[in-house]
Amino acid sequence: MAEISLTGVSKSFGDDVALDNLTMTVPDGSFVVLLGPTGAGKTTTLRMVSGLDKPDSGDVSIGGRTMAGLTPAQRNVAMVFQQYSLYPHLTVRENLEFPLKSPVLQTPAAEIKRKVDEVAEVLQINHKLDNKATALSGGEMQRVSIGRALVRNPSVYLMDEPLSSLDAKLRADLRVELKNIQANSGATLLYVTHDQTEAMTMATHVGVLDHGKLVQFGTPRQIYEDPVSVYAASRLGQPRINILPADVFGGAPDAAKTIGLRPEHIVQGDGENSMVKRVERLGDQTRLHLDFKDHDLITVTDAHTQLKHGDIVKIRPEKPYYFDAVGARVV
């Protein structure tokens, strides 16, 4: 396993800047999740590390060795794609054997069998080994493609939204499995996702990307509890953080332009009046959509709340974040 470092990496596709002078270090043995909306440069970062694309400038190194000029095969990385990940003309077993049989590895037959069986066991696909890859369900396919990364012993694993095409239950199961595999093997994993649950539950570190720049890098808790900007704060939290003009509650610092309030940071039963617009019952929690001085607010409340549309609730902020005009954190 190895540390990945990107130094001043830039990449443009035509006029679109995908990565803008990105510098980031993925520590050895860490599980780093890259967060950001479409176009933030997450997938491009993976492709730079894997060698599928070359940076316009800057350097990528793995384990202290520069990767400039090396082909994907020479870099010894494993990658799981979002979709189209299995070779459709091969069986599950042949898919899992494929990387082991490559001219780079040339694994002996007995070793191939042992590894494939071992990985199939872990991912619970051993009864499907002789099926054609296309005869599997979506969840099974994705497990096989994760398996194809696991049969090898690469320096790093790269995963591009590997769970996004799966249904909720499978996603939850595989999330736990992946985290276990990573924790047990001590592998370095660079993982791209949109899903905040995946980021919060699996990551040791989260990198927040915005237009090809790394805006914040830290543990999931740091990103959640101490965001550097409106943008970083908006990446995590379900429902999303409420952003209001700074002066609606009073007491804002001078430079503050907006106030950021996580739903759980709105205390009810004290402070100023707001009106309930909608009550959303999710089972384990209930969300209140409030109208506060003509601004929309979302907060969470007791699952069995009696509140209904039109009720008046007193609210006050607790632990608010203040941001300046460009969205940077003030307090």
Partner 1 sequence: MSFSVTEPTKGTKWFAGILVVAYAVVTIIPLLWIIATGFKSPTDSIAYPPVVVFEPTLEGYVNLFTDRTRATAQMLEEAGPPTTWYDEIARERGTVISGPSRYGERFLNSIIIGFGSTALCMILGTMAAYAFSRFKVPLKDDLLFFILSTRMMPPIAVAIPIFLMFRNLGLNDTHLGMILLYTAVNLSLSVWLLKGFIDEIPTEYEEAALIDGYTRFQAFYKVVLPQAATGIASTAIFCLIFAWNEYAFAVLLTSGTAQTAPPFIPNIIGVNGKDWPAVAAGATIFLVPVMVFTVLLRKHLLRGITFGAVRK
For 175, the 3-state DSSP assignment is helix
Q: What share of the chain is helix, strand, coil (3-state, %, to 5)?
A: 30, 35, 40
206, containing H or E segment: strand 205-210
Q: Which of 29, 39, 72, 239 touches partner 1 by CB under 8 A? A: 72
Q: Which of 12, 23, 52, 272 touches partner 1 by CB under 8 A? A: 52
- Residue spans of alpha helices (H) in 205-318: 220-225, 230-235
The yes or no reply on residue 138 touching partner 1 (CB under 8 A) is: no
The yes or no reply on residue 73 touching partner 1 (CB under 8 A) is: yes
The yes or no reply on residue 171 touching partner 1 (CB under 8 A) is: no
Separation of alpha carbons 91 and 313, rounded Å: 60
The yes or no reply on residue 69 touching partner 1 (CB under 8 A) is: no
The yes or no reply on residue 54 touching partner 1 (CB under 8 A) is: no
The yes or no reply on residue 104 touching partner 1 (CB under 8 A) is: yes
196, containing H or E segment: helix 196-202
Separation of alpha carbons 24 and 216, rounded Å: 10
Instruction: Report the nearest approach of partner 1 to the CB of residue 98 (Å).
Output: 6
For 237, the 3-state DSSP assignment is coil
Contacting partner 1 within 139-168 (CB under 8 A)? 148, 152
Segment lying near partner 1 (by CB under 8 A), choices 21-29, 76-84, 110-118, 210-218: 76-84
The yes or no reply on residue 63 touching partner 1 (CB under 8 A) is: no
Instruction: Report the nearest approach of partner 1 to the CB of residue 111 (Å).
Output: 15
Give the nearer residue to partner 1 in terms of CB position, either 113 or 213: 113
103-138 in b/e form (b: 16+ CB < 10 A) is eeeebeeeebeebbeebbebbebeebbeeebeebee
Give the nearer residue to partner 1 in terms of CB position, either 71 or 180: 71
What's the one-letter identity of residue 85? Answer: S
The yes or no reply on residue 64 touching partner 1 (CB under 8 A) is: no
By the 8 A CB rule, do 86 and 141 touch?
yes
The pairing of strands 205-210 and 31-35 is parallel
Instruction: Report the nearest approach of partner 1 to the CB of residue 135 (Å).
Output: 12
The yes or no reply on residue 70 touching partner 1 (CB under 8 A) is: no
The yes or no reply on residue 88 touching partner 1 (CB under 8 A) is: yes
| Degrees to nearest 5, angle at CA 77 with 79 and 168 | 25
Give the nearer residue to partner 1 in terms of CB position, either 79 or 214: 79
| Degrees to nearest 5, angle at CA 151 with 148 and 153 | 120
Q: Which of 89, 281, 316, 319 touches partner 1 by CB under 8 A? A: 89
Q: Which of 43, 45, 85, 229 touches partner 1 by CB under 8 A? A: 85
Give the nearer residue to partner 1 in terms of CB position, either 73 or 183: 73
Instruction: Report the nearest approach of partner 1 to the CB of residue 67 (Å).
Output: 13
By the 8 A CB rule, do 23 and 60 touch?
no
Binding site for partner 1 (CB under 8 A): 50-52, 71-73, 77-79, 81, 83-85, 87-89, 98-99, 102-105, 148, 152
